[in-house]
Amino acid sequence: MTLFHFLLRNIPRPVLIKISLLCQRPLALYYAGGAYEDPISGQFFRKFLPYGQNKYTRRNNVLSPGTFSLERHRLMWLFLKKETDFFTRNAHVLHIAPEQCFYKKFRRLGNITYLTADYNSPIADMHFDLHNAPLEDNLFDVIFCNHVLEHVENDMKCMQELYRIMKPGGWGIFQVPIDTNREKTLEDPAINTPGLREQYYWQKDHVRLYGNDYKERLESAGFYVEKIDYIRKFSKQEIERFRLASDEHIYLCRKH
């Protein structure tokens, strides 16, 4: 186990976020090079850092030293840049569990009103339980909520809350870990200890492991959902340069 894996596994998330904010610049300088590119910052590195808490999620050369982005973040950034008007259109945006690689860049955008929220993140503007969001109906043009729904007690209730606070005509991206070999989401009350959850759900603080029915679960909450295999837009050389994951899809959710 590397130092990075140990820290991810043993330090509480709010503390880890604070520590990481202090480490980004020194790590970016130390790992500077020309082999890999982080499209979020435009920086180049000789290698990326390892990431993952255990044997189910551990992988090498995936965490950007400059922004702490992972494969999913870089794919989402490229999608937003190339396929949407997010960076130019005026919009009211909600970002649940704001990722460090995004939130400073999004906050500097002049075209959006940007609100961040989380249960306990030190970088969030608001703190609340997503099961009962203290926000008005039909409020946001765009909502991001990534790698959250696998942690919540009742994901359908949280999906319905996201639907409720999204404006008609609005859209969102809600990514989760998915076992693409599993047709149905695994969710068993007997899987109720950190050890069992790590074994069956890939991480000790997950309460389910999504399968290929994730799109249908989002649709059950009212969304129109596009499952976009965006990785196909890139050459093998680009996939390697950006360090993207071949099995990551974009789940684009709209409210009509």
So what's the pLDDT on residue 22?
61
**Structural domain spans, the chain:** 3-70, 72-254
Burial code of 11-43, b = ≥16 C-beta within 10 A, e = fewer?
A: eeeeeebeeeeeebeebbeebeeeebbbbbbeb
- The fold for domain 72-254 equals Rossmann fold (3.40.50)
Alpha-carbon gap, residue 141 to 216, rounded angstroms: 22
The predicted model scores a pTM of 0.91
For 126-167, write each residue's pLDDT tens digit: 999 999 999 999 999 999 999 999 999 999 999 999 999 999
Alpha-carbon gap, residue 159 to 168, rounded angstroms: 15
How do strand 59-63 and strand 250-254 relate by DSSP bridges?
Answer: unpaired
Low-confidence ranges of the chain (pLDDT < 70): 1-22, 24-25
So what's the pLDDT on residue 222?
98
Residue 167 near residue 139, CB atoms below 8 Å: yes
Residue 243 near residue 224, CB atoms below 8 Å: no
Alpha-carbon gap, residue 224 to 72, rounded angstroms: 21
For 63-91, write each residue's pLDDT tens digit: 999 899 999 999 999 999 999 999 999 99
